[in-house]
C-alpha cells in the first residue's frame, strides 16, 4: 500500500496534466473560430470581395494565433520559473534541515489519510528513494521531471487557434457570394456546438448550458460585427 502511493499520485497528476492540455486545445480552437468568424462576417457585411475577405481572415488568423502563442509562452514561462524557484527552496531546506523536512512530509501524508505510523514509514522510504521528488510531488504538487514547457504550450496554442480559425476563413471564401454568409454562420455554430460539448465533457459538467453559452456568444459576436460592417459599408467607410 505504501509503495503504490507515489505511482498513483504521479499517474493521476499526469492524467490531470493531459486533460488540462486537451481542454486548453479545445478552448484555443474555440477562440480561433469565434474571433476569426467575427472578423470575416463583419467584413462580409461591408463587402463581398473575396480578396478582401481572404486578406482580413488571414490577417486575423495570424494575429490571433501569434497573440495566443506569445501569451501562452509568457504565462507558462512564469509558471516554470516559479516551479524551479520552489524546487530550489525545497532542495536547500532538505540540505539544511533534513529532520524537519521529514517531519513535514510525514504530516502531509497524515493529512492525506495515512496513520501516523504508516505515514512515518512512507516518508522515510520516500526520502531514502528521492527526497526532493517526494517533497515536490506531495508538498508542491510538482513533478520535477515534467516541468511546464513554454515552447510546447506556445506551439499548442498556435496550432489550436489556427485550426479553429481555418473553419470560418474557408467557409467565407470558398462558396459563391450568395452562400458565403449562411455557410459561414452554420459552420461556425456547428463548430461551437462541438467545442462547447467537448469542453463540458472534459470538465465533467452538463453539456447543455455550456453549448448554449458557447453558441450564444458566437452568434452574438457575428451579429454585432456583421451589423457594424453593414453600417460602415453603407456609409462608404
Q: Residue 55: its pLDDT value, please?
A: 95
Q: Residue 182: its pLDDT value, please?
A: 93
- Cell digits of residue 103: 517531519
**Who contacts 169 (Cβ-Cβ below 8 Å, separation ≥6)?**
36, 40, 54, 57, 58, 61
Residue 139 DSSP symbol: I
What tens digit of pLDDT does each residue of 164-188 get? 999 999 999 999 989 999 999 999 9
By percentage, how much of the chain surpasses pLDDT 90? Answer: 35
Q: From its phi and psi, is residue 141 left (phi > 0), alpha (psi between -120 and 50) or beta? A: left
Examine the pLDDT at 97 and tell me if it is beyond 50.
Answer: yes
The answer to whether 199 and 26 have CB atoms below 8 angstroms apart is yes
By percentage, how much of the chain surpasses pLDDT 70? Answer: 89
Q: Residue 199: its pLDDT value, please?
A: 78
What tens digit of pLDDT does each residue of 39-75 get? 999 999 988 899 999 999 999 999 999 999 999 899 8
Q: Residue 2: its pLDDT value, please?
A: 38
Q: Residue 188: its pLDDT value, please?
A: 94
Range with top average pLDDT, 82-96, 106-120, 172-186, 192-206: 172-186
Q: Residue 6: its pLDDT value, please?
A: 43
Q: Residue 8: its pLDDT value, please?
A: 46
As to burial, measured by CB atoms within 10 angstroms (0-12 exposed, 13-18 middle, 19+ buried), residue 20 is exposed
What tens digit of pLDDT does each residue of 126-140 get? 888 888 888 888 888
Helix H or strand E segment including 98: helix 98-111
Examine the pLDDT at 105 and tell me if it is beyond 50.
Answer: yes
Read off the pLDDT of each residue in 86-104 and give the average, rounded to a whole number: 85
Which of residues 188 and 114 earns the better pLDDT score?
188
Q: What is the mean pLDDT of the chain?
A: 84
Amino acid at each position: 500500500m505504501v509503495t503504490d502511493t507515489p505511482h498513483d499520485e504521479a499517474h493521476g497528476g499526469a492524467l490531470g496534466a493531459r486533460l488540462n492540455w486537451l481542454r486548453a486545445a479545445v478552448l484555443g480552437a474555440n477562440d480561433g473560430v469565434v474571433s476569426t468568424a467575427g472578423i470575416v462576417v463583419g467584413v462580409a457585411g461591408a463587402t463581398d470581395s473575396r480578396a478582401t475577405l481572404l486578406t482580413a481572415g488571414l490577417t486575423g488568423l495570424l494575429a490571433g494565433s501569434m497573440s495566443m502563442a506569445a501569451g501562452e509562452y509568457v504565462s507558462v514561462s512564469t509558471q516554470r520559473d516559479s516551479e524551479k524557484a520552489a524546487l530550489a527552496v525545497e532542495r536547500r531546506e532538505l540540505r539544511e534541515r533534513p529532520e524537519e523536512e521529514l517531519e513535514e512530509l510525514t504530516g502531509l501524508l497524515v493529512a492525506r489519510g495515512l496513520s501516523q505510523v504508516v505515514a512515518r514509514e512512507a516518508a522515510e522510504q520516500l526520502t531514502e528513494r528521492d527526497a526532493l521528488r517526494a517533497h515536490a510531488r506531495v508538498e508542491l504538487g510538482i513533478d520535477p521531471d515534467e516541468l511546464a514547457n513554454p515552447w510546447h504550450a506556445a506551439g499548442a496554442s498556435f496550432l489550436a487557434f489556427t485550426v479553429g480559425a481555418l473553419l470560418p476563413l474557408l467557409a467565407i471564401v470558398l462558396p459563391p457570394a450568395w452562400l458565403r454568409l449562411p455557410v459561414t454562420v452554420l459552420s461556425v455554430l456547428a463548430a461551437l456546438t462541438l467545442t462547447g460539448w467537448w469542453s463540458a465533457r472534459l470538465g465533467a459538467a452538463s453539456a447543455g448550458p455550456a453549448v448554449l453559452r458557447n453558441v450564444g456568444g458566437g452568434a452574438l459576436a457575428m451579429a454585432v460585427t456583421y451589423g457594424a460592417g453593414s453600417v460602415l459599408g453603407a456609409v462608404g467607410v
